[in-house]
Amino acid sequence: MRIVFMGAPEFAVPPLEELVLDGHQVTAVYTRPDRPAGRGLKPSPPPAKRAAVRLGLPVLQPASLKTAAANELADLKPEAIVVAAYGQILPPSVLEIPAFGALNVHPSLLPRHRGAAPVAGAILAGDEFSGVSIMLLDAGLDTGPVLTRAQIPIDPRDTTGSLEGKLSLLGARLLAEVLASWPGGLNPRPQDEAGATYSGTIAKETGRIDWRQPAVTIWRQVRAYQPWPGAYTSWQGKRLKIIEAVPLQEAVTAKPGQVVDLPPSGEAAFAVATGAGLLGVVRLQLEGKRPMTAAEFHRGQRQLVGTVLASA
């Protein structure tokens, strides 16, 4: 099948590789423009672009899919468009181009967690399962009919980064199964609007911890915002990022944000009092320093215990 692929982050790479492995003719890879990154702010290509170059595929990076870009896409004469975390809503002029439609590899069990951050949304909500839905795109935000979906359990240690990796591989396999019998072999099913939820774009400031929240809520935030933007608080005027933590259901006498000592037997070296329970800290990173275990940080900061960390 002649396919135009659209995607940008690491999540998009396994589905793209699967298309090539299965012998589809990927006529072009559309991805986001290079962005400045690192200390030198040098232009950095999206992971999908690096994969496309490695696979010898043409790459296009339009800032939008308006008239000129849509005309260029139409000239490629794709039978289908495959989308995996492209980061743009496809306009009707683009959706009308492929004869067999535009298929989206969406990392959630639609209609739950539509939108830009479905993986983080599932972790924040405390869902026991996540999954991938292969759907046909329409003019709405992840509202099109679903062709198939599959689910996996969310491990208590899963972060957005680790769970996205699992879902990306699952999505690649699911996409291969769909394209083997599409069109004609599957019956698209409309989504149940009554069960729809949305997970919107995450901003950098979203990661600031409010210690008045329950420990379980903050623990989910730590996992959902890893690797970006990170869940963080302040320590001596510097940003202190909590990389890994565990909720501890223990009686709390300290005020929210206050650091308390823990017995040396557990994986957490110290804890922070919250609005309900303690949050045991396992790994962290102080601004300007390397990531380290909480035990290492505790040894170097003897005045830590008893300090009240700032809330959002």
Give the SS3 label for residue 137: coil
- pLDDT at residue number 37: 81
Gyration radius of the chain over CA positions? 22
Rounded to whole angstroms, the Cα distance separating 5 from 15 reads 9
Rounded to whole angstroms, the Cα distance separating 43 from 3 reads 28
Angle between helices 47-54 and 13-21 (to 10 degrees): 20
**Cα dist from 11 to 16, 46, 87, 167, 283, whole Å:** 10, 11, 12, 8, 25
Would you mind telling me the total number of residues written for the chain in this entry? Answer: 312
- pLDDT at residue number 307: 95
Rounded to whole angstroms, the Cα distance separating 223 from 158 reads 7
pLDDT value at 38 more than 80: no
- pLDDT at residue number 127: 98
Beta carbons within 10 angstroms of residue 5's beta carbon: 27
**Dihedral through CA 35, CA 41, CA 43, CA 46, nearest 10?**
-50
Model confidence band, residue 101 (pLDDT cutoffs 50, 70, 90): very high
Rounded to whole angstroms, the Cα distance separating 174 from 163 reads 16
Average pLDDT, the chain: 95
SS (H, E, C) 139-187: CCCCCCCEEEEEEEECCCCCCHHHHHHHHHHHHHHHHHHHHHCCCCCCC
Q: What is the pLDDT of residues 238-269, one digit of tens each?
A: 999 999 999 998 888 899 999 999 988 789 99
pLDDT value at 234 more than 80: yes
Can you tell me the mean pLDDT for 223-231? 97
**Per CATH, the architecture of 2-195 is what?**
3-Layer(aba) Sandwich (3.40)
Tell how far CA 179 is from the center of its chain: 24
Can you tell me the mean pLDDT for 114-128? 98
Rounded to whole angstroms, the Cα distance separating 34 from 58 reads 15
pLDDT value at 44 more than 80: yes
Query: Quick one: 204-300 is in which CATH superfamily?
Result: Formyl transferase, C-terminal domain (3.10.25.10)
CB 243 within 8 A of CB 221: no
Model confidence band, residue 42 (pLDDT cutoffs 50, 70, 90): confident
Give the sign of the dihedral formed by CA 111, CA 115, CA 119, CA 120.
negative
Tokens, residue 299: 């040894």
Model confidence band, residue 96 (pLDDT cutoffs 50, 70, 90): very high
Q: Please tell me the number of Cα atoms within 13 Å of 229 on its side-chain side.
A: 12
Tokens, residue 117: 């951050």
Q: What is the pLDDT of residues 46-81, one digit of tens each?
A: 999 999 999 999 999 999 998 888 999 999 999 999
Tell how far CA 118 is from the center of its chain: 7
Pairing of strands 25-30, 59-60: parallel
Tokens, residue 42: 């040098």
pLDDT above 70: percentage of residues in the chain: 100
Cβ-proximal residues to 90 (8 Å cutoff; 6+ apart), any chain: 6, 65, 81, 83, 102, 137
Domain coordinates of the chain in residue numbers?
Answer: 2-195, 204-300
Angle between helices 160-180 and 13-21 (to 10 degrees): 30
Model confidence band, residue 312 (pLDDT cutoffs 50, 70, 90): low
What amino acid is encoded at 188 in this protein?
P
Model confidence band, residue 12 (pLDDT cutoffs 50, 70, 90): very high
